[in-house]
């Protein structure tokens, strides 16, 4: 059991983690693979265990799986650089992977909306409060951004509404946000056409793993100006934002 020139051997890495407590190590590794994000609020004790032993976990998953482990004070996630089973279609993988160009643009707009709401509601990135917003407010913001970016070439409002619903279903499933309350709008309230219901959502910390300014530029250009006649685009689902830091030592 010696270290090679590329770092500790697999056996040494396994033994080093096992000494931390095999059952807790097993639990942490399983939690990391069961969802896109592992949030501190999911299991505060296990999250703290992961943070305290992040170096060992990082070396372990990198050595055996070729994954990167990202951790900050709110969230941990595994970042996979590649997919190994080439026989699987995109639709058969359980990934956050946006390919419809309207959804790509809407996700970029959602990142901008998140940044704007942070400032408007005076919530800092380190705040433990979850930022809440009405779906109707986001839709109104998105319609304005489509007009600003696309002008007369923008899609119809109905097409935007139709893209919002599947996007939010996917964002909820991968825990970028969650539905808090859903109720009918009261008489006299002004909502965008087609938005008959209030839906109150809250952002979860995983949304901060994406850089709003970079994502906005790249997605808008790729999805609406560089694609001619096609309906598919793709959002990179693996790169954390610069805000949290690439080494994830914010905890």
Q: 118 by DSSP, 3-state: which?
A: helix
Q: What is the reported pTM?
A: 0.75
For residue 37, the model assigns a pLDDT of: 96
Contact assessment for residue 213 and residue 13, using Cβ atoms and an 8 Å cutoff: no
Dist CA 7 CA 63 (whole Å) = 9
Q: Residue 177: pLDDT above 70?
A: yes
Q: How many CB atoms lie under 10 A from the CB of residue 136? A: 19
**Alpha carbon separation from 53 to 34, 96, 176 (Å, rounded):** 19, 27, 25
Q: Are residues 152 and 211 in the same domain?
A: yes
Question: Is there a domain that residue 125 lies in?
Answer: yes
Q: Are residues 76 and 100 in the same domain?
A: no
Q: 251 by DSSP, 3-state: which?
A: coil
Q: Count structural domains, the chain.
A: 2
Question: Is there a domain that residue 29 lies in?
Answer: yes
Containing structural domain, residue 165 = 95-225
- Scored b (16 or more CB within 10 A) or e, 67-106 reads bbbbbbbbbbbbeeeeeeeeeeeeeeeeebebebbbbbbb
Q: Are residues 101 and 167 in the same domain?
A: yes
pLDDT tens-digit readout, 79-89: 988 888 888 88
Q: 81 by DSSP, 3-state: which?
A: coil
Q: Are residues 46 and 133 in the same domain?
A: no
For residue 153, the model assigns a pLDDT of: 73
Q: Which of 52, 80, 108 is the last residue of a domain?
A: 80
Q: With DSSP H G I counted as helix, E B as strand and the rest as coil, what are the percentages for the chain, rounded to 5? A: 50, 15, 35
124: burial class by Cβ within 10 Å (0-12, 13-18, 19+)? exposed
Question: Is there a domain that residue 247 lies in?
Answer: no
Q: Which range is least confidently modeled, 55-59, 136-140, 208-212? A: 208-212
For residue 247, the model assigns a pLDDT of: 40
CA neighbor of 28 nearest in space, from 42, 9, 11, 12? 42
pLDDT tens-digit readout, 9-19: 666 666 667 77
Q: Residue 235: pLDDT above 70?
A: no
Q: Are residues 136 and 60 in the same domain?
A: no
């Amino acid at each position: 059991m010696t270290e090679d020139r590329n770092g500790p051997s697999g056996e040494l890495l396994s033994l080093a983690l096992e000494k931390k407590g095999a059952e807790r190590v097993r639990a942490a590794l399983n939690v990391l693979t069961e969802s896109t994000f592992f949030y501190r609020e999911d299991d505060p004790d296990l999250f703290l265990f992961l943070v305290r032993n992040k170096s060992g976990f990082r070396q372990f998953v990198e050595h055996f799986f070729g994954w990167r482990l990202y951790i900050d004070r709110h969230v941990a996630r595994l970042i996979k650089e590649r997919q190994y089973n080439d026989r699987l279609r995109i639709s058969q993988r359980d990934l956050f992977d946006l390919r419809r160009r309207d959804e790509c643009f809407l996700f970029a707009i959602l990142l901008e909306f998140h940044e704007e709401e942070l400032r408007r509601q005076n919530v800092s990135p380190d705040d433990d409060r979850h930022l809440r917003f009405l779906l109707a407010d986001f839709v109104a913001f998105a319609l304005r951004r489509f007009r600003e970016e696309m002008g007369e070439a923008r899609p119809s409002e109905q097409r935007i509404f139709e893209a919002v619903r599947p996007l939010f279903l996917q964002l909820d499933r991968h825990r970028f946000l969650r539905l808090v309350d859903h109720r009918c709008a009261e008489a006299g309230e002004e909502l965008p056409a087609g938005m008959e219901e209030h839906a109150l959502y809250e952002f979860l910390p995983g949304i901060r793993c994406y850089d709003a300014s970079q994502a906005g530029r790249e997605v808008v250009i790729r999805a609406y100006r560089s694609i001619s006649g096609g309906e598919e685009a793709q959002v990179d689902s693996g790169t954390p934002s610069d805000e949290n830091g690439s080494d994830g030592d914010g905890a």
